[in-house]
Chain A
């Protein structure tokens, strides 16, 4: 069907899209702006927009008080580690469900998703006790396991949706040519599902990066990621907004950069199959 969009329609749509985009981006912009203000400026009413004394003292204070790179490295290890481990399980699981479904596949998928509906605090004490007994408290390995299990249902669901779009005939042809199951998955299925896998990985990295319940409750210092770094700058008594904004800016910067450069892949993957 030919797209008959009028210039007026195009302009209105663009303006609307820009407004939505700016609205979504505004909190991040405000956070970055606040990080360059003094504590008094940060809470002043009415707030100053650009005309204030720009300062880097909050960043200096954050650098002096915390070892940013240790927290950032932990975040990278947890996000990437949980994603890679999750991928191994999710690809095989989604393959089985997409290409060899049984009458209970749909129920199994829904059941997996239902585990996400339970508030994490409901299992805090049992998980904490297991971690204590297995010596996993404040270890990156333990957190990778928890984050991977937490995001596994979403990974399986996403990959299942992508795999369903791939014609079964191609896999059958590979089998006819003598491909074993691992070869069929690694050399035939995965290359065709790259956009879907990439967006699943990216989404999982973002979810693991932002996860703040388990990462705060199961770590103290050695495995603490950037969520713990941010949490250390919030205070119930005293002015802290500017320093907290500086810490938050530093914490989201890496993921913002990755998201910016991979946005095409991310959008392509997330809308994969949605328009068919």
Chain B
């Protein structure tokens, strides 16, 4: 027994220590979405061109990935050679010196082809610190058949007041149709992404020029009143649990008259394999209010290299391949133009093959081009970001405020109470962090 246990333990420990060690193995951390999975399947093209580099994929759910790569980069763990990071992380990490500048992407990379709004979001002092893989903004998707039946025509960009009127007309819960579906799930990247764009449209901002929160102003009150009214009265039941995926399944099963969310949803709702209303969807810009500044968000998933990586050269080769124009053509040749990662390169939107395969291309382009992370509010602001403020404290602040606004939507607190709680909790965090 003793010998058996000893042998088993020895074998296990030896097995545990044994560790493959390829010379130029790149470990790539990525999120699980269709475009990233497609890239994994197409890596044969990269390894054929670069036989000395092998790729190891680590795919994780977004929140897990964020926690995992943040821990690794902050502690210089060196577990990843290429990281998939959002537009929120790039400016903060570049500022901290955690990301290697991408200065070796090659002469034929055509960096000027990257959409200006996205490029500015991933650059610092004109140097690229991450390369965008796909980009998105937000827009409204609506049911053309229901609009027609109700005699509604969209003329120009809608306001939130007009959107409320349309939601009232379309709302027919007895027949399983809700006027509008919006994000209600609490989180800085969930309900707060949408509510911040609503706040921007009503002239609100997260912080004034002295970094003081502004939830005690009338702009936020109007925005949150509109949000709780339109979604609480003309949205689906249990909206506080709904994020992107829940609303996507509601819309795809024909239960939403309108849905305002990420432009990337356009390809899902028009795919007959996944959507019952694929041929009855129209697209228009996100509603404005007193301004259109910041009324639609800007987000991109980007590939970056942690500072101190020993494989920067190989990692840059991979990033150049994955975010190049040639990669878009590769995806198109294998999977069709409708499946290429959108929202990063201008040339894609000039390609007639793409614009005919993706009927939502023009609206997506317009939304991304109009989103400016620097000038996204009516009044001046000290932070970068449309639907977030690119400061390290924002994730915590945004999630707490999101919970308070979600409680207001659920009727557990009034709008005034939610705003007051948001103001005091944000003020406390900003004071503690030494902003004032």
Contact of B68 among A88, A216, A240 (CB under 8 A): A216
- If the complex has contacts A128-B71, A217-B67, are A137 and B245 also in contact, measured as CB distance less than 8 A? no
**Within B229-245, which residues are at the interface with A (CB < 8 Å)?**
243-245
Give the shortest distance, in Å, between B301 (CB) and chain A (any CB): 10
Q: CB distance B79 to A137 under 8 Å? A: yes
Q: CB distance A137 to B71 under 8 Å? A: no
Q: Is B37 an interface residue (CB 8 A)?
A: yes
- Which listed segment binds A: B248-256, B342-350, B412-420? B248-256
Q: How far is the CA of A88 from the CA of B57 in the complex (A)?
A: 36
List, in ascending order, chain B residues with CB within 8 A of A132's CB.
Answer: 75-78
- Which listed segment binds A: B8-16, B141-149, B167-175, B387-395? B8-16
Q: How far is the CA of A216 from the CA of B189 in the complex (A)?
A: 22
Q: How far is the CA of A239 from the CA of B249 in the complex (A)?
A: 8
For B, the interface residue count at a CB cutoff of 8 angstroms equals 58
Q: CB distance B1 to A186 under 8 Å? A: yes
**Within B73-110, which residues are at the interface with A (CB < 8 Å)?**
74-80
Q: Is A262 an interface residue (CB 8 A)?
A: no
Q: Is A45 an interface residue (CB 8 A)?
A: yes
Q: How far is the CA of A237 from the CA of B136 in the complex (A)?
A: 12
Q: Is B58 an interface residue (CB 8 A)?
A: yes
Q: Residues 109-133 of chain A: 1 if any B CB is under 8 Å from the residue's CB, otherwise 0?
A: 0000000000000001100110110
Q: How far is the CA of A239 from the CA of B273 in the complex (A)?
A: 11
List, in ascending order, chain B residues with CB within 8 A of A43's CB.
Answer: 245, 249, 252-253
Q: Residues 237-252 of chain A: 1 if any B CB is under 8 Å from the residue's CB, otherwise 0?
A: 1111000000000000
Q: How far is the CA of A195 from the CA of B75 in the complex (A)?
A: 44
Contact of A125 among B75, B265, B275 (CB under 8 A): B75
Q: How far is the CA of A45 from the CA of B177 in the complex (A)?
A: 12
Q: CB distance B78 to A222 under 8 Å? A: no
- Which listed segment binds B: A8-16, A22-30, A78-86, A165-173? A78-86
Q: Is A4 an interface residue (CB 8 A)?
A: no
**Within A73-110, which residues are at the interface with B (CB < 8 Å)?**
77, 80-81, 84-85, 88
Q: CB distance A84 to B17 under 8 Å? A: no
Give the shortest distance, in Å, between A126 (CB) and chain B (any CB): 10
Q: CB distance B16 to A81 under 8 Å? A: yes
Contact of A80 among B12, B63, B75 (CB under 8 A): B12
- Which listed segment binds A: B26-34, B45-53, B403-411? B26-34
Give the shortest distance, in Å, between A216 (CB) and chain B (any CB): 6
- If the complex has contacts A220-B27, A231-B61, are A238 and B34 also in contact, measured as CB distance less than 8 A? yes
Q: Is A228 an interface residue (CB 8 A)?
A: yes
Q: CB distance A40 to B58 under 8 Å? A: no
Q: CB distance A237 to B20 under 8 Å? A: no
List, in ascending order, chain B residues with CB within 8 A of A236's CB.
Answer: 31, 33, 61-63, 189, 243-245
Q: CB distance A217 to B68 under 8 Å? A: yes
Q: How far is the CA of A77 from the CA of B9 in the complex (A)?
A: 10
User: What is the chain B residue whose CB lies nearest that of A187?
Assistant: B1
Q: CB distance B77 to A77 under 8 Å? A: no
List, in ascending order, chain A residues with CB within 8 A of B71's CB.
Answer: 124-125, 128, 217
Q: How far is the CA of A128 from the CA of B1 in the complex (A)?
A: 35
List, in ascending order, chain B residues with CB within 8 A of A128's CB.
Answer: 71-72, 75, 77
Q: CB distance B59 to A77 under 8 Å? A: no
Q: Is B429 an interface residue (CB 8 A)?
A: no
List, in ascending order, chain B residues with CB within 8 A of A45's CB.
Answer: 249-250, 253, 255
List, in ascending order, chain B residues with CB within 8 A of A143's CB.
Answer: 16
List, in ascending order, chain A residues with CB within 8 A of B353's CB.
Answer: none
List, in ascending order, chain B residues with CB within 8 A of A69's CB.
Answer: none
Contact of A240 among B32, B58, B250 (CB under 8 A): B32
User: What is the chain A residue whose CB lies nearest that of B267?
Assistant: A238
Q: CB distance A140 to B64 under 8 Å? A: no
User: What is the chain A residue whose CB lies nearest that of B187?
Assistant: A236
List, in ascending order, chain B residues with CB within 8 A of A39's CB.
Answer: 274
Contact of B80 among A81, A131, A220 (CB under 8 A): A220
Q: Is A224 an interface residue (CB 8 A)?
A: yes
- If the complex has contacts A45-B255, A129-B75, A138-B79, are A222 and B61 also in contact, measured as CB distance less than 8 A? no
Q: Residues 34-48 of chain A: 1 if any B CB is under 8 Å from the residue's CB, otherwise 0?
A: 000001100111000
Q: Is B354 an interface residue (CB 8 A)?
A: no
Q: Is A141 an interface residue (CB 8 A)?
A: yes
Q: Is A235 an interface residue (CB 8 A)?
A: yes
- If the complex has contacts A132-B77, A239-B274, are A234 and B61 also in contact, measured as CB distance less than 8 A? yes
Q: Is B19 an interface residue (CB 8 A)?
A: yes
Q: CB distance B249 to A85 under 8 Å? A: no
List, in ascending order, chain B residues with CB within 8 A of A65's CB.
Answer: 37, 40
Q: Is A263 an interface residue (CB 8 A)?
A: no
Give the shortest distance, in Å, between B305 (CB) and chain A (any CB): 15
Q: How far is the CA of A84 from the CA of B10 in the complex (A)?
A: 11
Q: Is A155 an interface residue (CB 8 A)?
A: no
Contact of B16 among A144, A186, A228 (CB under 8 A): A144
Q: CB distance B20 to A222 under 8 Å? A: yes
List, in ascending order, chain A residues with CB within 8 A of B32's CB.
Answer: 232-235, 240
Q: Is A265 an interface residue (CB 8 A)?
A: no
Contact of A235 among B2, B16, B61, B67 (CB under 8 A): B61
Q: How far is the CA of A221 from the CA of B21 in the complex (A)?
A: 12
**Within A182-211, which residues are at the interface with B (CB < 8 Å)?**
186
List, in ascending order, chain A residues with CB within 8 A of B19's CB.
Answer: 138-139, 222
Interface residues of A (CB under 8 A from B): 39-40, 43-45, 65, 77, 80-81, 84-85, 88, 124-125, 128-129, 131-132, 137-144, 186, 216-217, 220-224, 228, 231-240
Interface residues of B (CB under 8 A from A): 1-2, 5, 8-9, 12-13, 15-17, 19-20, 27, 29, 31-34, 37, 40, 56-64, 67-68, 71-72, 74-80, 189, 243-245, 248-250, 252-253, 255, 262, 264-265, 268, 273-276
Given contacts A84-B8, A220-B79, 20 further A-B contacts (CB under 8 A): A39-B274, A40-B252, A40-B275, A40-B276, A43-B253, A45-B255, A65-B37, A65-B40, A77-B16, A84-B5, A88-B9, A128-B71, A137-B77, A138-B19, A143-B16, A220-B29, A231-B60, A232-B58, A236-B244, A237-B244
Q: 26 A-B contacts, Cβ less than 8 Å apart?
A: A40-B273, A43-B245, A43-B253, A45-B249, A45-B255, A81-B9, A81-B12, A84-B5, A88-B5, A88-B9, A128-B72, A128-B77, A132-B77, A140-B12, A140-B16, A141-B17, A144-B16, A216-B60, A216-B64, A232-B32, A233-B32, A236-B189, A236-B243, A237-B245, A239-B249, A240-B245
8 cross-chain pairs, A with B, having the tightest CB-CB distances, nearest first = A141-B16, A140-B16, A43-B249, A232-B59, A234-B61, A81-B12, A235-B32, A236-B62
